[in-house]
Structure 1
């Protein structure tokens, strides 16, 4: 009995191990809900894209002009992503979108299928029948990673779309119709106004292929995007409308009249339409490939990425890309809502920056010349004021090779820049000059300091950072260098810019220290202490300072407009010195004064005037005076770690998470800002956060999941284990790193990248 029993048991164990090893990994794409953040001020879009894709194919629910009755139209801000969940109509599907920004642009090459009388204007939302727009219902809408579907009720057309990196793939299921149309509107766009289009061009190559381009002067001042559009079915006729001249040109393939039916047209505001006869349930498919270089480049991109017409394969391939990216962090939780929040946050962090080059590596640079990306992938959409804080540090953990390419893209930008500056907020071969600081230096320094410098000349990168920080004519830098602060009379954001420059200078100092450049280290470390020069001890706030050295007499720390700050007020910006929390606490009078001040940020009640000062400010994303929807506040909850009450960090972050993130259309407490809001959520759920990128340290918080495994390059893994996790157990009793008690409130980048285990023991009572 004994001898026969053991082999049988052994076989059962081996069989169980084999089954465990072959058990497929859980699919994570089903937890991604792109509809999150599409209501109110999240400014995300529900359409299809692949990770970091150049195409973002998504519906537009309205297009509004920059001005209304001669004044700024606040609705422009609502339509930064082109889609608002509460709207009842869709105007079409365009191919480029920003995810979660506070500014509008893009919305290129709008396509709309229709049946019945031809209409070439979208009409108005209150009268859908007045144009080509259609009513729709969310009940007939599906939004997934790399897949979007909706029924256009006015036309009984089912619209589906998916993408590859450079190709948008449409699939329209038509009813029986002798008057089916595809409208291509090159006048449509986000952040729309009459002179945004500089020039547009369309060429009908044959009865299935159309090429062209659009040049715009919007947020990006000189932006040209090319397309190649191929139909799965020949159209029977086509036509153009030139809204500059109000003329309509009708073309019938094979019967050209060079005066009216020539197969190409150009002008400032061009539209086209293509006519079909369809049978019931017939699928008309369209592939729209994009290129920043040429129409030939767009065609080559189409051939390289989507040569055939298998819609389901393109969808599946893109969703597999998402699976691979999402599996870089696998969390443990039994809460479905938590998984939906987490993996939608992962999704949003993996949209931007976006690839900006053809399949052969060619791209248009800042100098408007065509360049070849040798040895790296070129990226654009750098919202650096937002993303230096947590998004790029996240990439340094889960995808350092990609972040390395982003750094190389920034350095290429510097080489092409006539101002010899690294990017501030760049898009599509343009510098938008939006927001303050020169935060690309933080991204570059953080990557190199953390060992992510393959193929980068680190000293040359430091030189680019130094050159940028010495540009005396940019946004008060000359005054900042000479006086140690920017005078209030010289710059409308004098205080916040001084504070942000000081942080950026600290990152330059850290990079110089790593490279042994002592002279640069001393210069920029001294500059990093300039934050102290705008602190007014009498009032206890960072405060606008005049050129004569005195502080501005008229001052309101709760006012957001005209007080020397950007996207914040003195109350929260006074806490902005992430490079030197200890020094800031000492400056403000030590723990006795600092902790109550930090407490007040979360508990105070803002007066109504705070929201009435500007139509752009809402109550979204605000807890007390803590404005989670504005990035300068993102490190604030972690500052308790430098005080005698570190348990309050744990309490605050666990309070913020459910208030600011929900698995609903209105589930983002502010703009996602190309992934920064989502990156904060990911780090905070894991239990640590990069308070000061440029340092190798991560401040510990309070993990809100049961555990996680982070897949690292080289096959390593870093796991987070959480003991006694519960909604009320927000406090950390002890932390073990690789089985040894951790006696600090931080871990290092090497701790993570070497692989290992971080174990939190949770309780309902703080230590």
Structure 2
């Protein structure tokens, strides 16, 4: 009996070990750090407030009074091809097309003290250091690099609200840690409104930084603690006038003075260290106060065991990555899959202290009751696939994100849901009111089941806010006139989609009048379709078409991040009506085919290095989100099979291993979410619908471990590089006769089986 029990126990332990495979080993945070992927390689935990990452340069926003285009390369602070590191800051965006953050840059140095960062062309003129990728390593919750100029080994890890540094000084004499309160991403001269720093004792420093920029008013507090006493500290104040006046002139504030305030401050801390000795620093951040930052530090990192904190971060990533377990054709596919999951789970980010307090849009301090508050909503990107992915894999978090959006609405002086918001600021970036889509999708899929009347009212009020981006004219005329508001066609089409989403939410809740009103508005896409040219095109306020129309041009034609060829396919909520409007299946399929095979002339690019060349296949622009649903539109024609090889082509062309592996910005996880859905074989063409369009999966097998305790399995029989076409699909053993599955099919658990072949089954899902 003992032998049987021992054998059973060993079998159970073996199963447990297999079940808890370290999936973090397949994540490569370096993917997307080159070219225009705009990801960062540093240490963070899922949805963490702290993103502790190296910055390879701090680029001025303006040069000689003009916008510096180099700023765009440094949206995440790091470029893989750079040769120097200027320091390690604690907040970063992942994969965005705009810059901000980069708070509280720290840099360990040794030897003669320098408080100027220097330049990449002349690193020796400042505190920055050369480095080599041969002595650099990035992994979930961990980053390591050797600073060659100082022979200092830097290791970074993080909790949700605390960044933890471990520095090993080969030469302990003259060891310094610089805290640069001036440095930042999107770094123009007057970004800093005010900074403050205070030495609480010989191991603890507190302070805050208030900045303006993309976020007009952003305030972040910090608490910085060292595991060894500070021998000496000092600072340099870089304000316009260096002289200290009045009472403060009685003291030398630059050395060992307990506090300092100013617009531009750099501080240093000296330590007595032996050669090879380590120094650990913890930087906690808070949107509320320095006391809040200290509480965050005490709650999340009460001790100094760097390795234990790191392991806890790895464990938190493994918990999230185990939501999907995959078998793939080749090892690189597994790397791409789990790296995509990693990038998808970087944001939106937690925004609030451990006690639930956070700074609101009204700049007052609020208490999050019954939810975790989130920030950094890049909604023009993420409504398409990232938030729908959360409804499958992260419903509890997505529920809190919706509550965070509604809190934003409640705190707005002219009630509006967020458009692109971060750190208690609304940036008004991009178009549409896609919070409505995110909320509607969560409501119809029953992720959100409470406070529904408030959610609907917030969406309706936002959609009726006449001062926002031509909505007044849109409501009056049924389209946005180009001579009233630019990018008018894109706005009309996206407003019409959002209106449809609101109608779906109203229908789910049972508000028939709102459903009818917004279902009618959802048909406004018809008002910008020109039957003669076969394209969506801009209209003027007198009802005439804008002249000089070029369907391939992206400039001045009524579109944003796309052209008429792309946006004429943007009616995700009514694809069958769009196909009929464009001449039926045959003509529509020809149009769709040509999108992938066209060769865009050079005249449509500013130059050979134009960033708009990133992520393009023919005239299909995968790097810009309006095209993300397009390949799945074949499912509404009699040639559904035509999507299969194209989906696989996009998966291979746009997502590769290596620093330059992303075909465009990751856009806060939207590009990664597209990959995850498509690799699994289905995609949410119209969030707000409970249907997913089927495609051609890349995985051999995937098991989705859902929050409700159910599992949903995707199986691709005969999967290979050659077998890209789906010949048959079965759901729980029953053959599907339409290329769609429903959200409930996934959430109640089951099995989706694709039978793969090397040649297309042209009769699959045939309308005949």
TM over 0.5: yes
User: Relative to 1, partners in 2 of residues 1:717 and 1:260: Cα closer, same or farther, differing over 3 Å?
Assistant: closer
1:231 corresponds, among 223, 226, 231, to: 226
Which residue does 2:58 correspond to in 1?
Answer: 63
Decide whether the 8 Å contact of 1:114 with 1:180 is kept in 2: yes
Partners of 2:343 and 2:241 in 1: CA distance: 41
Task: Please report how far the alpha carbon of residue 406 of structure 1 lies from its aligned counterpart in structure 2 after TM superposition.
Answer: 0.3
Bigger CA drift: 195-204 or 256-265?
A: 256-265
User: Relative to 1, partners in 2 of residues 1:747 and 1:259: Cα closer, same or farther, differing over 3 Å?
Assistant: closer
Secondary structure at 2:404's aligned position in 1?
helix
User: Relative to 1, partners in 2 of residues 1:245 and 1:118: Cα closer, same or farther, differing over 3 Å?
Assistant: farther
Task: Please state if 1:650 is matched with 2:633.
Answer: no
Decide whether the 8 Å contact of 1:700 with 1:745 is kept in 2: yes
Secondary structure at 1:24's aligned position in 2?
helix
Matches within 5 A, 1:190-589: 190-245=185-240, 247=242, 261-333=256-328, 335-454=330-449, 456-589=450-583
Partners of 1:336 and 1:497 in 2: CA distance: 42
Which residue does 2:603 correspond to in 1?
Answer: 609
Partners of 2:26 and 2:337 in 1: CA distance: 8
Which residue does 2:103 correspond to in 1?
Answer: 108
Which residue does 2:153 correspond to in 1?
Answer: 158
Q: Which runs of 5+ in 2 are unaligned?
A: 245-249, 762-768
Q: Give the TM-score of the pair, scaled to structure 2.
A: 0.96
Partners of 2:184 and 2:266 in 1: CA distance: 13
User: Relative to 1, partners in 2 of residues 1:294 and 1:586: Cα closer, same or farther, differing over 3 Å?
Assistant: same
Task: Please report how far the alpha carbon of residue 176 of structure 1 lies from its aligned counterpart in structure 2 after TM superposition.
Answer: 2.5
Which residue does 2:140 correspond to in 1?
Answer: 145
Residue deviations 1:384-430, cap 9 Å, x none? 00000000001101110110000000000000011200000000000
Partners of 1:615 and 1:121 in 2: CA distance: 32
Which residue does 1:252 correspond to in 2?
Answer: none
Task: Please report how far the alpha carbon of residue 24 of structure 1 lies from its aligned counterpart in structure 2 after TM superposition.
Answer: 2.8
Decide whether the 8 Å contact of 2:234 with 2:254 is kept in 1: no
Task: Please state if 1:765 is matched with 2:768.
Answer: no
Secondary structure at 2:294's aligned position in 1?
helix
Decide whether the 8 Å contact of 2:710 with 2:749 is kept in 1: yes
Task: Please report how far the alpha carbon of residue 10 of structure 1 lies from its aligned counterpart in structure 2 after TM superposition.
Answer: 10
Residue deviations 1:644-695, cap 9 Å, x none? 1100111110110010000110000000000000000000000000000000
Which residue does 2:662 correspond to in 1?
Answer: 668
Which residue does 1:99 correspond to in 2?
Answer: 94
Secondary structure at 1:713's aligned position in 2?
coil
Decide whether the 8 Å contact of 1:74 with 1:615 is kept in 2: no
Partners of 1:552 and 1:222 in 2: CA distance: 39
Task: Please report how far the alpha carbon of residue 742 of structure 1 lies from its aligned counterpart in structure 2 after TM superposition.
Answer: 1.1
Partners of 2:354 and 2:8 in 1: CA distance: 47
Q: Give the TM-score of the pair, scaled to structure 1.
A: 0.96
Decide whether the 8 Å contact of 1:242 with 1:248 is kept in 2: no
2:126 corresponds, among 120, 128, 131, to: 131
Partners of 1:393 and 1:260 in 2: CA distance: 53
Task: Please report how far the alpha carbon of residue 178 of structure 1 lies from its aligned counterpart in structure 2 after TM superposition.
Answer: 2.6
Residue deviations 1:222-263, cap 9 Å, x none? 0000000001111111111110147499xxxxx986797531
Partners of 2:15 and 2:671 in 1: CA distance: 36
Residue deviations 1:31-62, cap 9 Å, x none? 00000000000000000000000000000001
Task: Please state if 1:54 is matched with 2:49.
Answer: yes
Which residue does 1:686 correspond to in 2?
Answer: 680
2:179 corresponds, among 184, 198, 203, to: 184
1:168 corresponds, among 151, 163, 169, to: 163
> What's the RMSD between the two structures over aligned residues?
1.9
Partners of 1:756 and 1:668 in 2: CA distance: 32
Residue deviations 1:91-141, cap 9 Å, x none? 000000000000000000000011111111111101110100000000000
Decide whether the 8 Å contact of 2:224 with 2:282 is kept in 1: yes
Bigger CA drift: 255-264 or 580-589?
A: 255-264
Partners of 2:272 and 2:345 in 1: CA distance: 40
Decide whether the 8 Å contact of 1:110 with 1:184 is kept in 2: yes
Residue deviations 1:698-724, cap 9 Å, x none? 000000110100011231100001100
Partners of 1:52 and 1:389 in 2: CA distance: 19
Partners of 1:116 and 1:18 in 2: CA distance: 56
2:590 corresponds, among 589, 596, 609, to: 596
User: Relative to 1, partners in 2 of residues 1:18 and 1:372: Cα closer, same or farther, differing over 3 Å?
Assistant: closer
Partners of 1:122 and 1:189 in 2: CA distance: 12
Decide whether the 8 Å contact of 1:256 with 1:263 is kept in 2: no
Task: Please report how far the alpha carbon of residue 609 of structure 1 lies from its aligned counterpart in structure 2 after TM superposition.
Answer: 1.8
Which residue does 2:765 correspond to in 1?
Answer: none
User: Relative to 1, partners in 2 of residues 1:10 and 1:55: Cα closer, same or farther, differing over 3 Å?
Assistant: closer
Partners of 2:242 and 2:270 in 1: CA distance: 18
Partners of 1:714 and 1:80 in 2: CA distance: 37
Which residue does 2:69 correspond to in 1?
Answer: 74
User: Relative to 1, partners in 2 of residues 1:264 and 1:318: Cα closer, same or farther, differing over 3 Å?
Assistant: same
Task: Please report how far the alpha carbon of residue 618 of structure 1 lies from its aligned counterpart in structure 2 after TM superposition.
Answer: 3.6
Q: Which runs of 5+ in 1 are unaligned?
A: 1-6, 250-254
The number of residues matched between the two structures is 755
Decide whether the 8 Å contact of 1:236 with 1:274 is kept in 2: yes
Partners of 1:711 and 1:176 in 2: CA distance: 49
Decide whether the 8 Å contact of 1:175 with 1:278 is kept in 2: no
User: Relative to 1, partners in 2 of residues 1:248 and 1:183: Cα closer, same or farther, differing over 3 Å?
Assistant: farther
